Structure 1
Amino acid sequence: MSPLGRYIASICCWFATAAEFASHGARSASNAAFLSSAIIEKESEPMNRDLESLQETLERFILPRLRDVAAGWPFPLYLVGGVVRTFLMAGCSTKDRDVDLVTQGEIAALAHRLADRLGGHVFPLNEGTWRIVFRADDRQQWQLDISKLKGESIETDLSRRDFTINALAWEVGSREPRILDPLRGRLDLEKRIIRCCSPQCFWDDPLRLLRAIRFQAQLGFLISEETLQEMKERAPLLAGVSRERVRDEFFQILAAQSSWRHLQLLKELGLLEQVVPGVEAMYGLHQGVRHRLPLWEHSLETVRALEALLPQLPCFIPSHGGYAESRLKMPLEGGIDIKLALKLVALLHDLGKPFTRTVDDTGRVRFRGHEEEGRARIGEICRSLRLGRKTKDWAEQLVGSHLRPVLLSAEEQWTRRAKFRFFRDLKDSGFDLLLLGWADLQATVGEEDPQLLRYRSFFQEMIEYYREDFMVQERGPLVRGNDLIREFGLRPGRKIGILLEKVREAQAEGRLETKEEALDLVRDQLARWSGVDEDGVQSGEEK
C-alpha cells in the first residue's frame, strides 16, 4: 500500500485501536504503518474568507502605502504565497506577519520607496530579494520581502513555486481585485490538500521535502498521494541542503502539537535519516521481553507521552505551574526553547542502544552503558544540526542521565540526600530530566501501570523539594570558603570544596540550620581527618 493509502486508512481505525496499541505494543510492521498514518484530517469547512476579508485586514495600514507606490511603478505589483493563502483559509486567525511581493524592474529602488512609505528598515536578503522590517499601526513587527518575478509572467512565476496552496497571487493596484490561481490552489485549500506545483518542485529546492510536512503539521492538511510518492523518491536530495536550513524546518515540525505523528511520516518517507544521521539504527530493533515496544516505536511513544504530559503539568504541580511554563519556554538558542529541544531528546534518548545491545545465554537482551553511548551520539547529532554549545551540553546531560529519575523513583524511600544530589548535579535541568523520565517510563510500561502512578508521586515530591528547599539553600549557603579560611586557617584548595559539599549535603538533609552548626560540622570533619578531636579522643569512623 502506498504511504498515503496507509495514511488515510488508519484515520478510521485510530480511536478503535489506540487502546490495543498501548496495551499490546507495536511488535509488527503493521503497527509501524499504523503509527505512520495516524494523522487525523481536520473537517473541511466552507471557505468564508474571500478577497474582501483580505482587503479589510490589510487596508488599514499596508495596502494604502503599497497602492501609492504601485501607482508610480511601471510594472504590476503582486502579493503572493502565504499571505494570500492565510487570509483565504476558513476561520484562520493569522499570526503570520510576513508579506511577499513580486514584480519586475529594479527591485532595490522599489524596496527603498516602500521602506520610506512604511517607515521601515530595508536591506538585501539575497540576490534578487530585499526585505523591509517595519511596525504597522497595530504596533506589531511585520516583514515584507520583495522579489523579482521568475519568468516572463506572473503565471510562470506561480508555476515555479512549491505547492499549489502557495501558488496564489493578487495584483495590488488592479481596479478589479481578483485572485490569480493558475494551478487551482483555492480548490486544494478547500480540500485541505498539499500538492506540489510540478515534478520539478523538489529538484528546485529539496528543502520543500520538509516544508511539505511542516505545512501538514501547522495547517492540519493532508499531502496528496502523488506528492508523497514524489517525496519518497526524492528524499536523498535533502542531503544537499545546508544543515542550518534543515535544522530550522525540522524544529518547526517538532513545534507542532502532535509532532510524533509527523516524525513517523518523516521516517516512512526516508527523510528522518537525512535530518538525523544514524537514527536508522533504531528501526526494527527488538528490546527483549521487558519492553512492550521495539526501540523505534518506544522512542516515538516517548515523544507522544511527553506531548500529552506537558499541557497537564498545571494539574500535577498546581503550586509550581508558573515555574514549569517559564522553564519550558526558556530559550536555548535562536527559536529553540527547552520544550522543543526536549522533544528531540525524547526521540533520541535511547540512541545508544543499537550499539550496546547484547544477548546472553538465556536470551536476555541487555544494553549496558547505552546512556553513555547515547550521550556521545546526541552530541554528534547536535553538531550535525548546527546547534550551539549550550544546547549540545544540555542534550548530552539529559541523555547521559536519563535512567537516573526512573531508578530513583523505584527506591523504597526518596531521601533528602538523594534529592539533594539529584538537583546538585542537574540544577534546573533536573526538571527537564524528570519530565523525560515520566515519558520514558510511560512508553515502557503503559499508562495504567502502578509504576507510573508511583512516578507521578515521585515527580510531585521532587518538584516540591527543588522549589521549596533546594533553591532556597542555593540562594543562601550557611558558610562559604572565606568563612572556613578565617575560622580554621585553611588554605584555598580542594579540601575547602569537599568541606563545603559536606555542609551542603547536611543542610539538604535538614541536619543544619545555622552557620554555627555548619562550622561545628566542619570542625568535626577536620578532627576526623587529623585522627583526633579537640579533646584528644580518637574519632569514630566517618559515615
Structure 2
Amino acid sequence: MSKDDEERGADSGVQRVLAWDDIIYELQDLLANEEQPVYLVGGTVRDAFMRRPLKDVDMATPQSGVKLARKIANLLKGDFYALDAERDVGRVLYESARGKIIIDVARFRANNLNSDLLDRDFTINAMAVDIRGDLTALIDPLGGERDLSQKILRRCSPLSIQHDPIRALRGVRQSVAFNLRIEPETLKDMRASADSLAAVSPERLRDEFYALLNLSKGVSALRIADTLGLLKVIVPELDLLRATAADSAAGNNALAHTLATIDQLSQLLATVSFRRTDETAAQFTLGTVVMTFDRYRRQLVDHFESTWANDRPHRALLLLAALLHETGVETIDSWGIRMRLSSAEIDRLLTIARHHHRFMEKPFVNAQDTPDLRGIHRYWRDTREAGIDILFIALASYLAEKGAALDQDAWLRVIQNGEVLLRAWFDQHDTVINPPPLVDGRSLMKSLAIPAGRTVGLLLELIREGQAAGEIITVEDALNFARAYLAGNQFSQNGLSGGH
C-alpha cells in the first residue's frame, strides 16, 4: 500500500452513521455467535454510506464462503447455490418482507481483509464493516469514504483495472450512477484497458453492459465509454454508423443521432414512470406525452419494468434496441448470439429492427380523426408486445431528428398517432388486435369447397382484418366475404393465382 493510500485511509475504524436495511440487522443477530470473522463489503457498505436502497448484500470471510452461505440460507429458510465454487463464493436467495434479497458470501480474495479490499476495483467499493460487531465502525484502509464524499472514482491500485478489464466498463457506469469524477490515473487505466476488454467473457460483458444501459442517464455512460474506446470493443458494428450521415436537423452522423435518440428515449421512459417530477409536464414535448399517455401509465410501467432471462431488465434491452436497430437484422442476430442473449431477447431485438419504421410510415388516424383499424390490426399483428417498444423508439428518434426545429402541431399529430395505437392494444385488444374467430379452417374448406393450403390461412387473416375494421360481424359475413374474395381472384386447386 502506498503512502498516499495510507493517508487516504487514515480514518479507518472511525464510527460513521450508516443507513442499514432491516435485513442487515437480521443477519447480525443470526451471525452474532459466528466464530469466523464476517464482513459486509463492496456495494453494501457504499450504498449504506450513500443512503441508497439495498439491492443485495455482499459479505467476505477468511474461511469458506460457500459453507457460510449455506448456513445463512438454512437459518433464513432461503435458497442456496454455489455461485463460484472455484473462488468459494456462495449465494443465498431470500424472500424478505420487501421482496427478494440476494446475499453473496465470498472467501477473502487474499490473505487478510486489507489485502482483500486492496484487490477490489475502486476505493468506494473497498470499505468494510464487521457484521458481528459495531455497524457504525467503518474499516476503510484506502480512503473510500473520503473519495465518495469528494465525488471521486479512484482505482484501488495501479493493477486494479489491468487485472480485470471489465472494471473499466463498471467504472464508467458507477461514475455516472453516483455522479463521480474519474481520477486522472484511473481514467488513463480505463482507456488503456480497451483492447483487453475483448478477452472478457461474453456473459460478463453482457451483464455489465445491460447494467450500464439501465442507468437513468445511460446515454452519458455510452458517450464516456465511446470516448474511452470501450464502446467499439463491445459493439464494433457501430463504426458503420459513424461513417453514415444522419437525416436530422443537427446534421450529425448516424451514431450521434442514435445516441441522441437514446437520450430522448430515456426522458420518455422517465415521463411515463412513477418517478417523474412535476417539472416534466412543464416541457411541451414531454408534457403532451403526460397528458396523452397517462391513462396507460400503469400498463406502460409494467411493460418497461419487466425482465428477461436471469432478471435482465427490459428497459436495458429497449435502449440496446435503440442503439442497434439501424445496424441491420443480420448484425443484430450475430451480436446477440455472440453476447449470449436468450433467443427471446434476440427475437425482440430483431422484431424492433424489422419494423422500426412502421410507426412513422403512415398515420393510423385520418384527417377526420377516424382510426385506421385495419392498419392498427396489422401493426400489432406483426409486432405484438414489441410494438410498444417500436412506438417509443420512434417518438425518441423523431425528437432527436427534429431537435430545436420541432413543429409543435406536427408533434401533436405524432402523439395522437401513438395514443390510437396504445388505445387499441390496451383497451380494444379483443376487438381490434385479436378478435374472436368466427370461422376456422375446417369450416371454410367445407363451406367453400376448397382444399387445405395457403389460401385458407390467407382468408382467415383477411377475415380477422375485416373483423378488426368492423366490416365483418357474423359468421355469414365471414363466409360471404370469403366467397366474394375467391370470386374476384383466379382460384384453382393449387390456390389463388390472381392478384391478392
TM-score band (shorter)? 0.7 to 0.9
Aligned partners of 1:141, 1:542: CA distance in 2, in Å?
Answer: 57
Q: Check the 8 A contact 1:528/1:542 in 2, yes or no.
A: no
Q: Check the 8 A contact 1:266/1:272 in 2, yes or no.
A: yes
Residue in 2 aligned with 1:505? 465
Q: 2:317 aligns with which of 322, 341, 357?
A: 341
Secondary structure of residue in 2 paired with 1:513: coil
Q: 2:44 aligns with which of 83, 87, 90?
A: 83
Aligned partners of 2:380, 2:69: CA distance in 1, in Å?
Answer: 53
- 1:516 aligned onto 2:473: no
- 1:268 aligned onto 2:262: no
Q: CA deviation at 1:502?
A: 2.3
Q: CA deviation at 1:101?
A: 1.8
Q: 2:391 aligns with which of 409, 418, 434?
A: 434
Inter-CA distance 222–348: structure 2 relative to 1 (3 Å threshold) = same
TM-score under structure 2 length normalisation: 0.82
Q: CA deviation at 1:430?
A: 2.0
After superposing the two structures, state which structure 1 stretch, 157-166 or 425-434, moved more: 425-434
Residue in 1 aligned with 2:284? none
Aligned partners of 2:135, 2:387: CA distance in 1, in Å?
Answer: 61
Q: 2:331 aligns with which of 377, 382, 391?
A: 377
Q: Check the 8 A contact 2:82/2:90 in 1, yes or no.
A: yes
Aligned partners of 2:198, 2:385: CA distance in 1, in Å?
Answer: 36
Q: How does 1:225-264 map to 2 (within 5 A)?
A: 225-264=184-223
Secondary structure of residue in 2 paired with 1:142: strand
Aligned partners of 1:175, 1:95: CA distance in 2, in Å?
Answer: 19
Residue in 1 aligned with 2:242? 283
Inter-CA distance 207–430: structure 2 relative to 1 (3 Å threshold) = same
Inter-CA distance 453–181: structure 2 relative to 1 (3 Å threshold) = same
Q: How does 1:337-486 map to 2 (within 5 A)?
A: 337-351=313-327, 374-409=328-363, 415-446=372-403, 448-449=406-407, 450-469=409-428, 471-473=430-432, 474-486=434-446
Q: Percent identity?
A: 28
Aligned partners of 2:171, 2:422: CA distance in 1, in Å?
Answer: 40
After superposing the two structures, state which structure 1 stretch, 205-214 or 485-494, moved more: 485-494
Q: Which amino acid in 1 is paired with 2:346?
A: K
Q: Check the 8 A contact 1:123/1:130 in 2, yes or no.
A: no
Secondary structure of residue in 2 paired with 1:68: coil
Q: Which amino acid in 1 is paired with 2:27?
A: I
Q: Which amino acid in 1 is paired with 2:362?
A: L
Secondary structure of residue in 2 paired with 1:270: coil
Inter-CA distance 131–51: structure 2 relative to 1 (3 Å threshold) = farther
Inter-CA distance 302–132: structure 2 relative to 1 (3 Å threshold) = closer
Inter-CA distance 411–376: structure 2 relative to 1 (3 Å threshold) = farther
Residue in 2 aligned with 1:142? 101
Residue in 2 aligned with 1:124? 82
**Structure 2: runs of 5+ lacking an equivalent:** 1-13, 273-289, 492-497
Q: CA deviation at 1:476?
A: 0.6
User: Cα deviations across residues 256-277 of structure 1 (Å, max 9, x unaligned)?
Assistant: 1121111111100000011112
What's the Cα RMSD here?
3.0
Q: CA deviation at 1:110?
A: 4.4
Q: 2:174 aligns with which of 207, 215, 237?
A: 215
Q: Check the 8 A contact 1:470/1:508 in 2, yes or no.
A: no
- 1:180 aligned onto 2:162: no
Q: CA deviation at 1:198?
A: 0.8
Q: Check the 8 A contact 2:175/2:181 in 1, yes or no.
A: yes
Q: Check the 8 A contact 1:50/1:88 in 2, yes or no.
A: no
Q: Check the 8 A contact 1:81/1:168 in 2, yes or no.
A: yes
Secondary structure of residue in 1 paired with 2:203: helix
**Structure 1: runs of 5+ lacking an equivalent:** 1-48, 352-373, 532-540
Q: 2:456 aligns with which of 493, 496, 499?
A: 496
Bigger Cα Rg: 1
User: Cα deviations across residues 274-309 of structure 1 (Å, max 9, x unaligned)?
Assistant: 111221232254336766332121001111111111
Inter-CA distance 171–220: structure 2 relative to 1 (3 Å threshold) = same
Residue in 2 aligned with 1:297? 256
Q: CA deviation at 1:492?
A: 1.9
Q: 2:33 aligns with which of 61, 68, 73?
A: 68
TM-score under structure 1 length normalisation: 0.76
Aligned partners of 1:343, 1:390: CA distance in 2, in Å?
Answer: 16
Residue in 1 aligned with 2:270? 311
After superposing the two structures, state which structure 1 stretch, 177-186 or 144-153, moved more: 144-153
Inter-CA distance 123–148: structure 2 relative to 1 (3 Å threshold) = same
Aligned partners of 1:203, 1:241: CA distance in 2, in Å?
Answer: 12
Residue in 2 aligned with 1:362? none
Q: Check the 8 A contact 2:73/2:94 in 1, yes or no.
A: no
Q: CA deviation at 1:56?
A: 8.2
Inter-CA distance 385–471: structure 2 relative to 1 (3 Å threshold) = farther
Aligned partners of 1:290, 1:469: CA distance in 2, in Å?
Answer: 37
Q: Which amino acid in 1 is paired with 2:419?
A: Q
Aligned partners of 2:490, 2:133: CA distance in 1, in Å?
Answer: 93
Q: Which amino acid in 1 is paired with 2:363?
A: S
After superposing the two structures, state which structure 1 stretch, 520-529 or 509-518, moved more: 520-529
Inter-CA distance 425–148: structure 2 relative to 1 (3 Å threshold) = closer
Secondary structure of residue in 1 paired with 2:189: helix
